[in-house]
Amino acid sequence: MSAPTRSMDAPRAIRIHPSDTVAIVVNDGGLPAGATLPDGPSLREAVPQGHKVALIDHAPGDAIRRYDVTIGYAAEPLPAGSWINEHRTTMPEAPGLTGLPMATVKAPEVAPLQGRTFDGYRNADGTVGTRNLLAITTTVQCVSGIVGHAAQRIRAELLPRYPNVDGVVALEHTYGCGVAIDATDAAIPIRTLRNISQNPNFGGAVMTVSLGCEKLQPERLFPELEIPDLVRFQDNTGFEAIIRSLMETAEAHLERLNRRTREACPVSDLTVGMQCGGSDAFSGVTANPAVGIASDMIVRAGGTVMFSENTEVRDGIAQLTARAASPEVAAEIIRELGWYDAYLERGGVDRSANTSPGNKKGGLSNIVEKAMGSIVKSGSAPIAAVIPPGERARVKGLNFAATPASDFICGTLQLAAGATCHVFTTGRGTPYSLEALPTLKLSTRSDLARRWHDLIDLDAGPVATGEATLKEMGERLFDLILDTASGRRTWAERHGTHNALALFNPAPVT
């Protein structure tokens, strides 16, 4: 059962590791009661696609193992052939944060990956963007409506005259006033906004728009930098004057951006954020492992990759600390995840609050199982550095960006960390994308890719049916990342759809 049969009609199931006591159903639509798995039991009841089947008898309290990890315990007798789901299991306690292996795994020797390039936009500071975008950063939510209106006019009236500019991005958010701006944790959303403004996709400069009376003054947003072209609404007389000021400032930026052209850049200039959302039981079997292979290839080529989602790696913390490049990096992982434990505890919840109804409908019983499938996006490279929320990546190689698991907050923080391309896997389906960087979406199942044929950029489902190997899928993704970084438009870019930025603000709102 470790490899599915190729017959589309025969019962098929995937067992990840020989010690696993369950396998997941591969067949579209699931399997009926009485179906017999290859070299396995007959099903005692119908089991949906992606859900777990007991391969052996489980007595109450017995460990249920998947990924060679105990993902739960039987809450009732579960004979072989039973459907195992969240209602029939209990979840393990979170692993402790002491006595963990610290940088004990030596990464295998791998040859550098040479000769691969992408066509990017090189900036004066040496960074490289995958898009050439006019960005308008805002200091407060109050200005968002007018900035959005101005951005639409800039796209319609000005952008067609500047063919080398890929688009206009209004960096709107829900922060800047009505908040405890001097609270300790307020540093997180402020530095997030500051670092988003410095993303390489914006060509080294942004427009800055302020209301005038907000708590987050431009001087506070950019304390050590010359404030980029500033438009302050309260300095203008009326709506038309504000719009005229925005349009004139934008035109000067567009003139500069339009002089930029793509040039061949090594993969070492690429920074890619890896994320998953709307996950299912196939996420850790098809798409996420393929992402891990592509991640390793980028790292071998000298590039930068970040994986994230605190609650979706928390149960694998021992794997992370063991793979850290040094004991100091391992200690940073523990510090960030410990801080997040305390943050959740203040809200009266724990990591179990992560799992959504869709995750469970897709076969994920709890956060432990979800985490084991999520963490494989990181591949096998040593973890070179940890990025606290809102900070920038400063070390090449594999980085752990310590972010919440919320798709929108995680993506916003990866953008702030310097990601110029985004890879997003989904099993249930989500149209998520960000406007400031191309977002490649991978489906974990071919059924989803068929139904969302004009939303999914790459289908990893053939891995589940044996029509492609993980290595092949990872290499396809690597090639697609380079093509996308070179200007190939994602489905979301072709449709012109995107999600709003979502800042992580653990500080109080006044």
Number of domains in the chain: 3
Answer yes or no: are the C-beta atoms of 193 and 214 closer than 8 Å: no
**Of 130, 149, 159, 131, which Cα lies nearest the Cα of 254?**
159
- Based on the fold, state whether residues 301 and 250 are members of the same structural domain: no
108 domain residue, yes or no? no
Beta bridge partners of 65: 70
**Is pLDDT of 228 > 80?**
no
- Based on the fold, state whether residues 152 and 250 are members of the same structural domain: yes
**Is pLDDT of 6 > 70?**
no
> Which pLDDT does position 390 carry in this prediction?
98
Read off the pTM. Answer: 0.96
Model confidence at 424, in pLDDT bands (50, 70, 90)? very high
> Which pLDDT does position 4 carry in this prediction?
46
Residues 124-136, mean pLDDT to the nearest whole number: 97
> Which pLDDT does position 109 carry in this prediction?
85
118 domain residue, yes or no? no
- Based on the fold, state whether residues 329 and 426 are members of the same structural domain: yes
3-state secondary structure 203-219: CCCCEEEECCCCCCCHH
- Based on the fold, state whether residues 278 and 372 are members of the same structural domain: yes
95 domain residue, yes or no? no
**Is pLDDT of 358 > 90?**
yes
Q: Token digits for 386?
A: 């940890």
State the chain's mean pLDDT as an integer. 96
- Based on the fold, state whether residues 365 and 491 are members of the same structural domain: yes
**Is pLDDT of 428 > 60?**
yes
- Based on the fold, state whether residues 81 and 153 are members of the same structural domain: no
114 domain residue, yes or no? no
- Based on the fold, state whether residues 351 and 475 are members of the same structural domain: yes
Q: Is 265 helix (H, G, I), strand (E, B) or coil?
A: strand
Which domain does 209 fall in, by range? 133-258
Answer yes or no: are the C-beta atoms of 426 and 485 closer than 8 Å: no
Residues 165-192, mean pLDDT to the nearest whole number: 96
- Based on the fold, state whether residues 209 and 296 are members of the same structural domain: no
Q: End of a domain among 231, 258, 285?
A: 258
**Is pLDDT of 155 > 70?**
yes
222 domain residue, yes or no? yes
In b/e form, how buried is each residue of 229-268, taking b as 16+ CB within 10 angstroms?
bbbbbeebeeeeebbebbeebbeebbeebbebebeebbbb
Residues 456-471, mean pLDDT to the nearest whole number: 97
Model confidence at 152, in pLDDT bands (50, 70, 90)? very high
The CATH number given to whatever domain includes residue 154 is: 3.40.50
- Based on the fold, state whether residues 293 and 417 are members of the same structural domain: yes
502 domain residue, yes or no? no
Model confidence at 263, in pLDDT bands (50, 70, 90)? very high
**Is pLDDT of 2 > 60?**
no
**Is pLDDT of 334 > 50?**
yes
Burial class (CB in 10 A: 0-12, 13-18, 19+), 504: buried
Model confidence at 8, in pLDDT bands (50, 70, 90)? low
Q: End of a domain among 62, 90, 118?
A: 90
Rg of the chain taking only CA atoms, in angstroms: 24
How many Cβ atoms are within 10 Å of 59's Cβ, its own excluded? 10
**Of 190, 233, 237, which Cα lies nearest the Cα of 215?**
190
**Is pLDDT of 471 > 90?**
yes
Q: End of a domain among 258, 280, 296?
A: 258
- Based on the fold, state whether residues 385 and 449 are members of the same structural domain: yes
112 domain residue, yes or no? no
Model confidence at 291, in pLDDT bands (50, 70, 90)? very high
- Based on the fold, state whether residues 297 and 227 are members of the same structural domain: no
119 domain residue, yes or no? no
Answer yes or no: are the C-beta atoms of 444 and 460 closer than 8 Å: yes
- Based on the fold, state whether residues 303 and 382 are members of the same structural domain: yes
